[in-house]
Amino acid sequence: MQTEVLSVNPSEPEPDVIARAAKVLDQGGLVAFPTETVYGLGARAFDPVAVAKIFAAKGRPANNPLIVHFAAPPFDASSSDSFWPAAAQRLAARFWPGPLTLVLPKPPGVPVIVTAGGSTWAVRMPDHAVTYALLSAAGPLAAPSANVSTAVSPTTAEHVLSSLRGKIDLILDGGPCPGGIESTVLDLTSSPPCVLRPGPILPSELSAVIGHVTASEIRLSGEHGPLPSPGTSIRHYAPRATLECYRDPAETSARVNQLAKSDARVRWLRCSPLARIVLGAEQIQMSQDAPGYAAQLYGALHDADRHGADYVILDLPPDDEEWLAVRDRLRRAATVWKNTVER
Ligand code: TXA
Ligand code: MG
């Protein structure tokens, strides 16, 4: 299959480009498109044959359900409480369009392939003019991130092309995604509601609207200590290069220095201003604030792979809540995670 790439204006998408993409989707094809978080790989959500192609193109396990994307909330305040609880209405009113995915009881009619056979579905309304135009033209789309399974999510059309070329019909190139990290996933079917994946919308922001929320255990274990062993981590979002994360800036510089003296190609994503400069290592200065860092992170990891880096070394950002999503992704991608300072 030939993968076509079409440029699209990210703030004022050209109607003919959107019409072309909608036609591909209507015919059961796959289209990658930008959102405010990362690029998604869409198929019409109510076409199980088309949705099956997403799993095939990504090599995604059939037990991993997909998010359904909408141009407008699928329900409103007058809807049945069982499919659209009051908390969903309040959260949608506050955060949609935006990077929040809600897990809700699955209504009849949603194909089982979308929910991986489960009794819930995940829904979100993205905040991006291209996504909005495409969803308005083509209807709801099931869309995971547009990368092969377990790899780093794409934040540019080039990232999508390098991982899915020849496997999908069309990529809409609307430039880099502004957010750079996947949406917050909140399960509203558990009590209290539970953050399954931390993202741009923080737990405290959710609590402010609906009261107490918890965070999924797996996502947070290891946040306050080294991982039990790399083999037990859920390796995900990982670059090809070996990723090592250190809390102590002195340890980071020492490790970079050691690698720079060997034959290894090393990239250092600097966050802490305290670490020493090391000669012989490529150094990328990362943003000091969480949203800026998130916007840069996946691009920096893709870049390291493109340049054949053997190692990516980075200083762990602070423990604060606003860094939760970045730390979650790093922890899943890391081979070495050392969150302690030995003195
Ligand atoms: O920002 C995003 O959410 C991006 C853009 C494209 O919208 N999408 C994305 O999709 O990250 P994906 O498939 O890469 O990640 C979706 C996550 C997975 O961890 C999946 O297991 C979870 O959401 N998920 C989907 N449906 C679910 C459900 N019914 N119950 C629990 N988790 C669900
Ligand atoms: Mg993904």
Using the mean position of ligand 1's atoms as its centre, give its distance from the Cα of residue 21 in Å.
Answer: 22
Helices (H), 165-282: 203-210, 217-220, 249-261
Which pLDDT value is given to residue 226?
A: 43
Which pLDDT value is given to residue 280?
A: 78
Distance between CA 41 and CA 69 in Å, rounded?
11
What does 160-194 look like in DSSP terms, one character per residue?
Answer: HHHHHTTTSSEEEE--S-SS-SPPEEEESSSSS-E
> Pick from 39, 46, 35: which is nearest to 168 by CA?
39
Q: What is the pTM of this model?
A: 0.94
Which pLDDT value is given to residue 343?
A: 63
Which pLDDT value is given to residue 272?
A: 75
- For residue 183 and ligand 1, the question of a CB distance below 6 A is answered with yes
Q: Which two tokens stand for residue 281?
A: 């290592």
Distance between CA 273 and CA 92 in Å, rounded?
39
Indicate if the alpha-carbon torsion angle 214, 219, 221, 225 is positive or negative.
Answer: negative
Using the mean position of ligand 1's atoms as its centre, give its distance from the Cα of residue 66 in Å.
Answer: 5
Ligand 1 probe mutation, 31, 67, 128, 298, most atoms within 8 A of CB: 67
> Pick from 56, 112, 115, 123: which is nearest to 89 by CA?
123
| DSSP secondary structure code for residue 277 in this structure | P
Which pLDDT value is given to residue 227?
A: 40
Which pLDDT value is given to residue 274?
A: 67
Any idea of the CA torsion for 258, 152, 120, 186, to the nearest 10 degrees?
60
The mean pLDDT values, 10 residues at a time, for the chain of 343 residues are: 97 98 98 98 98 97 95 93 96 98 97 97 98 98 96 97 98 98 97 96 98 73 41 65 93 92 92 73 92 97 96 92 94 90 71
- For residue 104 and ligand 1, the question of a CB distance below 6 A is answered with no
Which pLDDT value is given to residue 275?
A: 65
15-26 and 129-138 helices cross at what angle (nearest 10)? 50
Ligand 1 probe mutation, 182, 201, 298, most atoms within 8 A of CB: 182
Question: Which residue is closest in CA terms to ligand 1's atom 24?
Answer: 65
Which pLDDT value is given to residue 228?
A: 40
